[in-house]
Every structure is written in structure tokens, then in C-alpha cells.
């Protein structure tokens, strides 16, 4: 018997929705969450794929997240819309606020969507990619939990603080990146721990503030930012803009709020959208094709664009209409479709 | 005789203005350029200090930069103002556009200033700091010349593409950073070359695309970004947003435009401003003080904030009302005040 289970694309999406609905999520939340989890699985971002259904249901059963709160959208200013998730996952708030964000950016040139009071677990690239698919340039950022030490320090202050960016291209997929400002994702350190492997130097410090290659010591000590003092500065920017600037929690505060429950972090998210048609003006097509010269210069010397591997996986899995997940994960999730199992606390 | 020459703060500013005016810059351009050069010297950012007067005059005498073009300000959209420098240095265009940028951000929540068709040599921190001093959050970025290879590549595509950020603090100096997305500044490599010292690994590649610690080889080959693929992605973002998005040149195009003259790069600059009072809403003071908890957590563990050394230099030099520059530089600049010297081509 194979170690993987194969689902058709539509089947995988419906499966995710059913797991979430059976376990208590309202239909619109189940669909919003499934859209991002499904997209990650299709693109073979396994750590943000169908496996996250387990985490979503665990967090719901721990009583932390709202399964059905309706996001409240507030038109704060010509350039700013607020989507209050009211204790639910971020994704329905994102989807509901996105339309207003895009409409605003098309009027003012640029606009911001502040998502507040949300539980947050999702990759940011599907969010910026969706905005680029509407012809806009997009940037997104969030704090998380205070696991990451500032440059020159030894104690966690920053979250893994991802930054994502998308640029629409006249033909084909947008230019997209989405990276953690920590040297490694927390999940990568956890994978090393489970595999009994040391982590590379530069990923973490032990409780005494000394460099360590022991994954458990790094998880209990502090993670490090990428790129030394520059990565640390960038992480501080994300912390400030997607935290206090939008009136939401710092990674330090989000961690304190969790009280050691190990639930999904609870904080805010900031998304910016820029309308290149307004910025570029009448010569929009000319400037847009000039941007292509940058991509040509990168690809022409054998280097890759940030999302290239992901887009290749997407093309392959879309052509074969097949999404593979580990058989064990499929069995775990299938068991969660049983109403009796679903009604039990996790 | 001491190797340094000491000027009082006002004297240093007047001296810079006189050097620029005597050598052909219009008074408003001379003052705008001097303000940033003077601030850098006061804060002991020597590479962007009074030494740059030599470069400004050299570039003017090479016939590249306009000494007196009036920037043209265009109100493009509720969130976007354009300042066309019309072939002059960026700084008067920045100063002229800044007021409109701030006014717009206070109305729309966030706004952008696109500076176009400018020669650009200046540090970005004085620009974002000035906006933070008005109570706004600010971000600035520019391309430069295509010296920096993308991650996985071997040939220059990106500029040194700096990113600067400022966050206003209720008491005292704003939180500010300003870093190149290249592993090192081009000037640092040049300083190693002059000193006959090798550069650290990770700064550059030779013409064959192989890692080198020879500064001359790296200057003739390609520089590298900081932070591997993440720094490279960030540099691409800056290239796109402060290049084609604002209808201005990529670093590749700016380098081609220079035709090997070695003049100051000619391109655009993007500045974003966010009004935290609008973003934070009624609880502005609360959220603003919550941001201070982040700085306390960094400083409390013995780490430093990005601009701390610069602010310390500023406090020291302001208290003593003294700016030191190398005696040789002072002599070179003083000679340029002689109208006969000034009238000669450089």
C-alpha cells in the first residue's frame, strides 16, 4: 500500500471543508480556511497544507477560536479599511476586507487592510497573490509569538514575522515571495527535533543565550533572525506596523495572551495594496514591460524567481488533477468526519 | 597639527552651502543638499557626510546633473504625489514633495511620494526621520546601479537598494533604520581595496561568478545581497516598487544610462507615509506606548536599537557644537571656494 493518498483537486477542497464543518466551523469560515490550505497543498507547501486542518480543529476544541464570528468591516479612512475578525481565524476577515482594499487602492493609489483580533496560521502568499491577480501590487506582514531574539540579544521578542510581496505580470503568474524574518521557520526546527538531527549554526540560541545546534535547546531558548542586524531591523518594522500601528498585539503580548496553551497565535495582520496603473500613469504598459526585463535578467543567468518551484508544482498537480497527502494524514482527517469523533474534545 | 578640522554646527552647514553655490548649484538646491550632508556628518555617517560635496561638484562638472531645475509637483491621486526632479539631485524634490505627502497621509491614512528623474546619492534615514518627526511612520527605498547579483546568480542585476524605516516615539528620537540590501555597501568594498585588505566571504563574486575575497575582483564582478534568498527577494521588491512602479529606471537601466561615466546614479525613489493616529484610532496613545514595550524588551536584554550609535554621536556633537572632518578634506573643500578654482572643470 502506498504511503500517500491522492485526491482530485476539487475533492481535496471539499474534503477540507467537510472536516472543518463537521468539527464545528461555520460554512463560510470553513470555505475561507480551506481555500488557503488547499492552495498550499496544491503548490506542495506541505507545512501550510491539509495538515493544518488538525491544528485548526485542535485550536477550536481548546476553546480559543470562534468558529462563526462574522467579521466587521469598517471604512476608517480613504486609504484604510479595518476587518475585525472578532476572535475567529483571519481568513474570512481577509476575504471580506480584500474587496474594499482593492476598491480603495484603485481610487487613492494605495490602501491598507488592517485585520484585527484574529487567530493566524496561514501562509501569506495566497493573500498577496490574489491581490496581484486583480492587477495590484501587494505586501503583507504579521507578528506571531515572541520566539525570536533581536540582533545582539538572547531572548525572544519578535515573532517569526513573515513578509510577503506580489507583483502582477502581464503574462503568467505574479512575482511572489513570502519569507519568515527568522533564520528558519519554527516548523523547520521542529522537523529537525523529530528527526533527531542538529540544526545549522545561526538558527538559535540556548537558554543561556549561547549558540546551539540542538533543536530542543533552540525551541526552549531563542530563535535568530535571518541576515543579522538587517533582518532584525526588518522584523522590528513588521512587529510595529502589523502590531501597535494597527492597534493589535505585539508578538510578546500574543504569547502572553496564549498563557502556554500552544494555540494558534492571536494578533493582527497588515496588507498594503498599490495600483500600478495609477503609479505608472499613461505609460503603464511600457513600465510594466520594463519590469519584465528584471525577471529576464534574473532567469537569463540561471537564477530562479522566489515562487518558481511552487508554480511548477501547481502546474504539475493541476495538469494531473491530483493532490497527494500522506496516507496517515488522510486517515486521521477521515476519522474526524465521523460525527461521534468530531463531537469529542480533541 | 591635528589630522582633523573642527567646525561649529552652523559653520559646517554654511560651509557646505558655500561650496555648492560657488561651484554652480542654485541656492535652494545647495541648501537642500547641504541639509542632508550636514546631518550625516553631525551623526558621524562619514560616507554620506561632507565628503559627498566633492562627488556632487564632480557630477555637476561632468555635465550630468542640473544645478537649478525646479521640481514639478503633481497631485496624481488622493494617496500619491509625484515630485519630478527634472534631472537635478533628489533632495529639493524630496523636500518640496514631503509637505504634500504628509498632508495626504493625514487625510487618507497612508500616502506615497514618488520622486522621479533624480540623481541620487544621499542616505535615506534623514528623510524618514523628518517624516517621523511629524508624527508619521515612514518607509523609503531606491534602486541604484546593477552591481548586485540575485541569489543563485552571478551577474549584477539589483542596485544596493537601501530600505529605510522610521517610527515616531512619544519621547525622544524616532526608531529608525536604513540599510543596503547588498551584503556590504559599495563604499565598504572600496575602502578595503584602498587599504589593501581582503573582504569577508559572502560580499562578492569575481567575473567568473566564483566567491572572492579580493575587493577589486568583487567590484569588477558582482556584489551579493545580505541574507541569501530573502535579501535577494527584498532587493527585487525595492527594484520593482522604486523603479517601474513609479515609472522610473531599474538599476540595470540606470547603469546603462550612465554609459560608464561614473556619475551619481540617476533613477527614482519611493517614500511611503502612514498616519498612526488614523491607523490606531481613538486609542492612539495606548497603542503608541505599547510599541515602547518592544523597545524596552530589546534594550532590556542589552541589545541595541538600529540608530543608537548615530543618535549618541548626534548628542555628543550637538552638546560640544563641533563637527570634525579630516583636515585634508577641509583643505580640498576650502580650495573649491576660490572662484577661479570653481570655474575650472573638475
- CA B161, CA B103: separation in Å to the nearest integer? 27
SS (H, E, C) A105-141: HHHHCEEEEEEEEEECCCCCHHHHHHHHCCCCEEEEE
Closest-CA distance of chain A to residue B133, Å? 16
For residue B49, tell me if it sits in a domain: yes
* Segments forming the whole domain that contains residue B313: 1-61+307-346
Reading across the β-sheet that carries B163-167, which strands appear in turn? Answer: B72-77, B80-84, B110-119, B266-274, B137-141, B163-167, B175-179
> Which of A156, A121, A145 has the alpha carbon at shortest distance from A33?
A121
pLDDT at B344: 62
Same domain, A231 and A260: yes
Same domain, B145 and B241: yes
Residue A321, CA distances (Å) to A50, A345, B115, B161 in order? 16, 35, 47, 41
Rounded to 5 degrees, φ, ψ at B29 are: -65, -45
Same domain, A152 and A233: yes
Same domain, A136 and A34: no
Partners of A114 in beta bridges: A82, A270
Same domain, A160 and A257: yes
pLDDT at A110: 98
Which residues does A308 contact at the CB level (< 8 Å), separation at least 6? none
What count of Cα atoms within 13 Å lies in the side-chain half-sphere of residue A316? 11
pLDDT at B42: 98
For residue B190, tell me if it sits in a domain: no
CA–CA–CA angle A200, A206, A210 (5° rounding):
80
CB–CB of B113/A264 below 8 Å? no
What residues of chain B lie within 8 A of the CB of A114, using their CB? 279
Listed by number, the residues of chain B in 70-109 with a beta carbon closer than 8 Å to a beta carbon of chain A are 76-80, 107-109
pLDDT at A64: 84
Instruction: Using a pLDDT cut of 90, give the percent of chain B over it.
Output: 90
What count of Cα atoms within 13 Å lies in the side-chain half-sphere of residue A147? 25
For residue A46, tell me if it sits in a domain: yes
For residue A165, tell me if it sits in a domain: yes
Same domain, B44 and B119: no
Q: Which residues of chain A have pLDDT under 70?
A: 1, 341-346
For residue A110, tell me if it sits in a domain: yes
Probe site for chain B from A72, A75, A76, A79 (most B CB atoms < 10 A): A79
Probe site for chain A from B114, B249, B280, B290 (most A CB atoms < 10 A): B290
For residue A189, tell me if it sits in a domain: no
**ipTM of this complex:** 0.97
- Which member of B48, B117, B120, B145 is catalytic? B48
What residues of chain B lie within 8 A of the CB of A175, using their CB? 236, 240
pLDDT at A238: 98
- CA B17, CA A344: separation in Å to the nearest integer? 77
**Crossing angle for the helix pair B228-241 and A284-299, nearest 10 degrees?**
160
CB–CB of A123/A129 below 8 Å? no
What residues of chain A lie within 8 A of the CB of B80, using their CB? 108-110, 278-279
- CATH number of the domain that residue A268 is part of: 3.30.1370.60
Task: Kindly calculate the radius of gyration of chain B based on its CA atoms and give it in whole angstroms.
Answer: 20
Same domain, B174 and B244: yes
Within an 8 Å CB–CB cutoff, is residue B228 touching chain A? yes
Same domain, B295 and B314: no
Listed by number, the residues of chain A in 256-275 with a beta carbon closer than 8 Å to a beta carbon of chain B are 272, 274
pLDDT at A345: 55
Probe site for chain A from B79, B145, B238 (most A CB atoms < 10 A): B79
CB–CB of A252/B294 below 8 Å? yes
For residue A218, tell me if it sits in a domain: no
- CA B326, CA B328: separation in Å to the nearest integer? 5
**Sign, CA torsion B312/B318/B323/B324:** negative
Closest-CA distance of chain B to residue A297, Å? 7
For residue A211, tell me if it sits in a domain: no
Same domain, B269 and B314: no
CB–CB of A164/A139 below 8 Å? yes
> Which of B328, B325, B341, B343 has the alpha carbon at shortest distance from B16?
B325
Q: Which residue of A has its CA nearest to B291?
A: A244
What residues of chain A lie within 8 A of the CB of B230, using their CB? 179, 181, 226-227, 231
- CA A20, CA A34: separation in Å to the nearest integer? 8
User: How distant is the alpha carbon of residue A273 from its chain centre?
Assistant: 17
Q: In which element (H, E) is residue B318 found?
A: helix B308-319
**pTM of structure:** 0.97
Q: Which residue of B has its CA nearest to A115?
A: B279
Within an 8 Å CB–CB cutoff, is residue A243 touching chain B? yes
Same domain, B141 and B281: yes
Same domain, B240 and B294: yes
Q: In which element (H, E) is residue B46 found?
A: none
What residues of chain B lie within 8 A of the CB of A233, using their CB? 165, 177, 179, 306
Among B77, B246, B294, beta carbon nearest to A108: B77
Could you list the beta-strand ranges (E) of chain A.
4-7, 72-77, 80-84, 110-119, 137-141, 162-167, 175-180, 204-205, 211-212, 222-223, 266-274, 323-326
**Sign, CA torsion B39/B41/B43/B46:** positive
Same domain, B102 and B135: yes
pLDDT tens by residue, A168-195? 999 999 999 999 999 998 888 988 999 9
Whether B283 is catalytic is: no
Closest-CA distance of chain B to residue A163, Å? 9
What is the 8-class DSSP label of residue A150? P
pLDDT tens by residue, A1-19? 679 999 999 999 999 999 9
Within an 8 Å CB–CB cutoff, is residue B179 touching chain A? yes
- Walking along chain B (346 residues) 10 residues at a time, the average pLDDT comes out as 91 98 98 98 94 93 93 98 98 98 98 97 97 98 97 97 97 96 92 94 96 96 98 98 98 91 89 98 95 97 97 98 96 90 61
What residues of chain B lie within 8 A of the CB of A239, using their CB? 294
- Give how many domains chain B has, as a whole number: 2
- CATH number of the domain that residue A321 is part of: 1.10.1530.10
User: How distant is the alpha carbon of residue B59 from its chain centre?
Assistant: 17
CB–CB of A119/A263 below 8 Å? yes
10 Å CB burial of residue A123 (0-12, 13-18, 19+) is buried
Amino acid at each position: 500500500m502506498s504511503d500517500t493518498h491522492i485526491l482530485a483537486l476539487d475533492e481535496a477542497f471539499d474534503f477540507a471543508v467537510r472536516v472543518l464543518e463537521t468539527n464545528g466551523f461555520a460554512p463560510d469560515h470553513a470555505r475561507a480556511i480551506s481555500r488557503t490550505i488547499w492552495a498550499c497543498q496544491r503548490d506542495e507547501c506541505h507545512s501550510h497544507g491539509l495538515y493544518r486542518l488538525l491544528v485548526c480543529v485542535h485550536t477550536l476544541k481548546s476553546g480559543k477560536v470562534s468558529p462563526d464570528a462574522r467579521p466587521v468591516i469598517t471604512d476608517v479612512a480613504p486609504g484604510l479599511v479595518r476587518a475585525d475578525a472578532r476572535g475567529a481565524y483571519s481568513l474570512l476577515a481577509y476575504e471580506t476586507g480584500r474587496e474594499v482594499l482593492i476598491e480603495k487602492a484603485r481610487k487613492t493609489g494605495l490602501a491598507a487592510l488592517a485585520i484585527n483580533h484574529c487567530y493566524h496560521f496561514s501562509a501569506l502568499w495566497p493573500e498577496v497573490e490574489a491581490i496581484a491577480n486583480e492587477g495590484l501590487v501587494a505586501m503583507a506582514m504579521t507578528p506571531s509569538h515572541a520566539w525570536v531574539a533581536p540582533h545582539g540579544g538572547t531572548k525572544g521578542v519578535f515573532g517569526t514575522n513573515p513578509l510577503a510581496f506580489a507583483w502582477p505580470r502581464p503574462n503568467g503568474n505574479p512575482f511572489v515571495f513570502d519569507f519568515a524574518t527568522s533564520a528558519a521557520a519554527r516548523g523547520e526546527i521542529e522537523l529537525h527535533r523529530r528527526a533527531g538531527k542538529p540544526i545549522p549554526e545561526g538558527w538559535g540560541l540556548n537558554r543561556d543565550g549561547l549558540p546551539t545546534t540542538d533543536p530542543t535547546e533552540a525551541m526552549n531558548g531563542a530563535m535568530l533572525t535571518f541576515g543579522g542586524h538587517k533582518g532584525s531591523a526588518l522584523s522590528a518594522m513588521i512587529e510595529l506596523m502589523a502590531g501597535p500601528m494597527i492597534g493589535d498585539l505585539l508578538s510578546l503580548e500574543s504569547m502572553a495572551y496564549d498563557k502556554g496553551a500552544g494555540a494558534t497565535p492571536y494578533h493582527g495582520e497588515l496588507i498594503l495594496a498599490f495600483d500600478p496603473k495609477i503609479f505608472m500613469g499613461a505609460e503603464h504598459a511600457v513600465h510594466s514591460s520594463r519590469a519584465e526585463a528584471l525577471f529576464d535578467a534574473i532567469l537569463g543567468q540561471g537564477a530562479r524567481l522566489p515562487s518558481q518551484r511552487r508554480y511548477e508544482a501547481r502546474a504539475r498537480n493541476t495538469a494531473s488533477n491530483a493532490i497527494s497527502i500522506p496516507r496517515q494524514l488522510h486517515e486521521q482527517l477521515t476519522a474526524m468526519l465521523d460525527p461521534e469523533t468530531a463531537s469529542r474534545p480533541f
